[in-house]
Amino acid sequence: QKVSVIGLGYIGLPTAALIARGGAQVVGVDVSAHVVETVNSGRVHIEEVDLDGLVQGVVARGNLRASLEVEESDVFIIAVPTPVSEDRAPDISYVLKAARTIAPVLKAGDTVILESTSPVGTTEAMRDVIGTIRPDLKMPGTGVAGDIAIAYCPERVLPGRILVELIDNDRCIGGITPRCARKALGFYRQFVRGACITTTARAAEMVKLVENSFRDVNIAFANELSVIAENMDIDVWEVIRLANRHPRVNILSPGPGVGGHCIAVDPWFIVHGDPENARIIRTAREVNDGKTDYVVAKASDLIDEFGDQDIACLGLAFKANIDDFRESPAVKVAARLARRYGRRIKLVEPYARDLPMEFAGTGAELIDLDTALEQCGVFVILVDHDMFKSVPVDERAGKAVYDTRGIWPDQPRRVAQPAPGRLAL
Ligand code: SAJ
């Protein structure tokens, strides 16, 4: 069996490597010469737990190679980006381009599977693109039995656990027709240990969008609550902890906003598909994005209250214990503070080797946690890395803290001293 994976990014490369480990001949196709060269030399261009060793092994054994060109295969997996444009519309141009690229090499009996997060209807659109280029092949779902199978099977893996979750997670496999679904099912069963459940392509497209929207809406609930509680001078973390003792309540954690490449993007695909009815989903997006602005304002108030002390921003990653800084609300908050307070801003991020480009020219610098605890009087906590949680209370006594993640619940509140000559009311 020969498998082509189109797009060697965060999903494509681990998927290609896993299938290759199972013994198939896998060709990874990418538009970037750098990516192709890197993979062919047995190395990786992305950070993911255990991926480097796996790629090195399968490339050395000859089961995986990368190429700029597509070639004949039995199965094609498309894992290319589907970003949102400025006006929040989904951009499926990379998917359609991939469909145009593989169309000339398709033959009867092949299976084409789309894995990219996509608005409902994309798999059918892909089929139509292929059908236009290859009128000699019968397309599935057009009233005749198709010569090829076309299916949608979303990835659901969590960054940092991709290789484990690719195997263990349940998969939802949507065929353009039931026959297409069965064909794709046979393929996934070879390397997935989780349950593989078949449905239609349109339902499977929606399932993926719904999963991430569900999480976004629930995080928005927690973020909204955190603002309301702060206004009422109540500890939101305590409220959530106590409310979650109810057997049917499970509130998620507030933070400085929602980051990553999926949860802050995918809900817009649903909103764009039905703007009139997707009201909670749109509002949740606005609440989560608004939380970032709110944190900048609140942190600025605290900084201004404490005069000219240095400020430590703890964490830049988009979530705890990972080294991914793209689409990170922590970077957004810290960069805005750095533009305002310049070299007084000190960034503490154990997972960063260099400062992200957002900080260029601001004067902000990276320092380690111990130096921050010695030098800085104000702390803005943006990421709940384990390393930050374990700072003992006596080492942070006397610091003014704005804690967006609730990791220092026992921090004594510090009240600013009135400036000389001014009366405290
Ligand atoms: N976050 C909070 N509070 C919480 C949970 C998360 O503020 O209680 C924030 C995080 O700090 C982060 C963002 O949300 O900024 C997203 O983090 P995440 O851990 O919820 O999700 P991702 O983006 O790493 O991965 C998600 C997962 N989707 C779901 O859990 C429904 C993953 O399974 C998907 O495969 C992935 O999106 C994707 O590729 O779509």
Q: Which residues pair with 173 in a beta bridge?
A: 198
Read off the pLDDT of residues 239-270 as tens digits, 9 standing for 90 and up.
999 999 999 999 999 999 999 989 999 999 99
pLDDT reported for residue 159: 86
% pLDDT > 90, the chain = 92
- Alpha helix positions (H), 134-188: 162-168, 178-188
pLDDT reported for residue 291: 98
pLDDT reported for residue 298: 97
**Cα–Cα dist 122/272, whole Å:** 14
Q: How far is the CA of 212 from the centre of ligand 1 (A)?
A: 8
User: pLDDT class for 197, splitting at 50, 70, 90?
Assistant: very high
User: pLDDT class for 420, splitting at 50, 70, 90?
Assistant: low
Say if CB 301 and CB 294 are below 8 A apart.
Answer: no
Read off the pLDDT of residues 367-399 as tens digits, 9 standing for 90 and up.
999 999 999 999 999 999 999 999 999 999 999
Q: How far is the CA of 285 from the centre of ligand 1 (A)?
A: 14
Please give the model's pTM, rounded to 2 decimal places.
0.93
* Residue 164 beta carbon below 6 angstroms from any ligand 1 atom: no
CATH homologous superfamily for the domain 209-285: N-(1-d-carboxylethyl)-l-norvaline Dehydrogenase; domain 2 (1.10.1040.10)
% pLDDT > 70, the chain = 97
* Residue 252 beta carbon below 6 angstroms from any ligand 1 atom: yes
Would you name the residues annotated as active-site residues?
Answer: 208, 262
Q: How far is the CA of 260 from the centre of ligand 1 (A)?
A: 7
Q: What mean pLDDT value characterizes the chain?
A: 95
**Cα–Cα dist 287/290, whole Å:** 5
Residue 383 CA: which ligand 1 atom is closest? Answer: 11
Read off the pLDDT of residues 200-236 as tens digits, 9 standing for 90 and up.
999 999 999 999 999 999 999 999 999 999 999 999 9
Say if CB 258 and CB 282 are below 8 A apart.
Answer: no
Angle at 48 between CA 43 and CA 51, to 5 degrees: 45
What average pLDDT score do residues 34-59 get? Answer: 96
Would the pLDDT of 2 be above 50?
Answer: yes
* Residue 9 beta carbon below 6 angstroms from any ligand 1 atom: no
* Residue 127 beta carbon below 6 angstroms from any ligand 1 atom: no
Residue nearest to atom 10 of ligand 1 (CA): 319
* CATH of region 306-403, choose from 3.40.50.920, 3.40.50.720, 2.40.50.100, 3.40.50.880: 3.40.50.720
Say if CB 112 and CB 38 are below 8 A apart.
Answer: no
Read off the pLDDT of residues 144-192 as tens digits, 9 standing for 90 and up.
899 999 999 999 999 889 999 999 999 999 999 999 999 999 999 999 9
User: pLDDT class for 424, splitting at 50, 70, 90?
Assistant: very low
Mean pLDDT check: name the lowest of 40-44, 155-159, 361-365.
155-159
Residue type, 98: A
Q: How many residues does the chain have?
A: 425
Would the pLDDT of 425 be above 60?
Answer: no
* Residue 262 beta carbon below 6 angstroms from any ligand 1 atom: yes
* Residue 10 beta carbon below 6 angstroms from any ligand 1 atom: no
* Residue 13 beta carbon below 6 angstroms from any ligand 1 atom: no
pLDDT reported for residue 283: 98
Residue nearest to atom 35 of ligand 1 (CA): 156
Residue nearest to atom 4 of ligand 1 (CA): 253
Match 């339902």 to its residue by tokens.
Answer: 203
Q: Which fold has domain 2-200?
A: Rossmann fold (3.40.50)
User: pLDDT class for 69, splitting at 50, 70, 90?
Assistant: very high
What average pLDDT score do residues 403-412 get? Answer: 93
Residue 260 CA: which ligand 1 atom is closest? Answer: 23
**Cα–Cα dist 330/324, whole Å:** 11
Q: How far is the CA of 386 from the centre of ligand 1 (A)?
A: 17
* Residue 174 beta carbon below 6 angstroms from any ligand 1 atom: no
Read off the pLDDT of residues 264-295 as tens digits, 9 standing for 90 and up.
999 999 999 999 999 999 999 999 999 999 99
Residue 252 CA: which ligand 1 atom is closest? Answer: 8
Task: Report DSSP state, residue 394.
Answer: G
Read off the pLDDT of residues 95-143 as tens digits, 9 standing for 90 and up.
999 999 999 999 999 999 999 999 999 999 999 999 999 999 999 999 9
Domain 2-200 and domain 306-403, same fold? Reply is yes
Residue 318 CA: which ligand 1 atom is closest? Answer: 15
pLDDT reported for residue 418: 57
Show me where the domains of the chain are located. 2-200, 209-285, 306-403
**Cα–Cα dist 361/164, whole Å:** 40
From 230, 248, 381, select the one nearest 239 (Cα to Cα). Answer: 230
Would the pLDDT of 322 be above 90?
Answer: no
Sign of torsion over alpha carbons 329, 222, 383, 14: negative
